[in-house]
Amino acid sequence: MKAEKISIVIPVYNEEETLEKLLERLRPVMDSLDRDIEAVLVDDGSTDRSLEILKQHAGQNIKVVELTRNYGQHAAVFAGFENCEGDIIITMDADLQNPPEEIPRLIQVMEEGEYEVVGTLRKGRKDSIFRKIPSRIVNAATRRITGVHLSDWGCMLRAYTRPVVDYMLKSQEHSTFIPALATSFAKNVTEIEVSHEERFAGQSKYSLLKLITLHFDLITAFSDFPLQFMFYMGLLLAFFGAGFGIVLVVARVYFGADWAAQGVFTLFAVLFFFVGAQFLAFGVMGEYVGRIYREVKKRPPYTIRKVY
Ligand code: UDP
Ligand code: MG
């Protein structure tokens, strides 16, 4: 199915050195597509000249959205989603690490395969090793959490269909990770290889702390693992305590009263058991908290593609 309109959503945070170049490369790509196409650039509370530059370029197919302060990349992309009209929505970074020239292929793959989400795999990723190793771990974790086998979750050059974006907007989530949220509403998901470039100018806008926060969002938004971990931990400890108790009773019968250090061991067994029971109680409480959390997020429990 050929999309009527295409939107390209780009979050911008202090990218004054790159913006001119970005638009210079984006324009020919947009023209070459020969379709109704818009670029939505979201200024995520930049403190440099980014907004000024963007405003100069705002026009008929370039929309500029100004946020009041810095909310983070994913929140900025959401603001772009809310302000775009395309049937296919593409997200990409402003720093030219994702070449705009890959956009036509992304659209082509999406339309030919009738995919709902097209992800990308960065070929020859140009980032430091300190960036790549954590990514590896996160990618593996995300595959487990979402059950979707994409190999690169971090690359934001991605395409989504309108229904997927609408469902994302409908879920009232404030801390989320867009690529994972999108695949939770889609069945036909694929991934293509795209080239990756050095950052055109400036530095990564992610400090270590910001990166950790983002991944914490990913884990807490898509899995109850930390809560369940508590429950299983408690179960294990309680079993251990009870087992230890049994061993003590048996040994006491065999070796007599002197053996068990005058009851100190017994105290340990009792302690283990109670600590375990406490963890278990926390775990049960956690399970309820998790359910409340899920309700609060108001993520649609199911999503319909079509009624025949
Ligand atoms: N970005 C943003 N708000 C932020 C941090 C980043 O809008 O708080 C934008 C940034 O301008 C860029 C994109 O998100 O367009 C990706 O950021 P960056 O290139 O710094 O991340 P990295 O490539 O290092 O993952
Ligand atoms: Mg980048």
Q: Are residues 172 and 279 in the same domain?
A: no
Specify whether the CB–CB gap between 243 and 252 falls below 8 A. no
Average pLDDT, the chain: 88
Best residue among 81, 95, 194 to mutate for probing ligand 1's pocket (most ligand atoms within 8 Å of CB) is 95
Ligand 2 center to 229 CA (angstroms): 34
- Whether 243 has a pLDDT exceeding 80, the answer reads yes
Residue among 151, 157, 150 nearest 196 (CA): 157
Given the structure tokens 């000024």, which residue do they identify? 52
Segment of 44-53, 204-213, 285-294 carrying the highest mean pLDDT: 44-53
Helices (H), 35-173: 50-57, 73-82, 103-113, 129-146, 162-170
* pLDDT band (50, 70, 90) for residue 178: very high
End-to-end CA distance of the chain: 18
pLDDT of residue 261: 67
Q: Which helix (H) or strand (E) holds 5?
A: strand 5-12
Q: Are residues 141 and 61 in the same domain?
A: yes
Q: Are residues 100 and 181 in the same domain?
A: yes
Q: Write out pLDDT tens, residues 253-272.
A: 888 767 666 677 778 888 88
Return all residues near 303 (Cβ < 8 A) that are at least 6 apart. 163, 167, 185
Ligand 2 center to 171 CA (angstroms): 27
Q: Which domain holds residue 183?
A: 5-223
For the CA of 42, the closest atom of ligand 1 is: 7
Residue 54, in any domain of the structure: yes
The pTM (predicted TM-score) of the whole model is: 0.83
Gap between the Cα atoms of 43 and 51, Å rounded: 6
Gap between the Cα atoms of 58 and 207, Å rounded: 30
CA-closest residue to ligand 1 atom 24: 204
Q: Are residues 125 and 84 in the same domain?
A: yes
**Last residue of some domain: 179, 204, 223?**
223
* pLDDT band (50, 70, 90) for residue 221: confident
pLDDT of residue 220: 83
**Last residue of some domain: 198, 223, 248?**
223
Count of structural domains, the chain: 2
Q: Which two tokens stand for residue 35?
A: 């379709």
Q: Write out pLDDT tens, residues 82-134.
A: 999 999 999 999 999 999 999 999 999 999 988 999 999 998 888 888 888 88
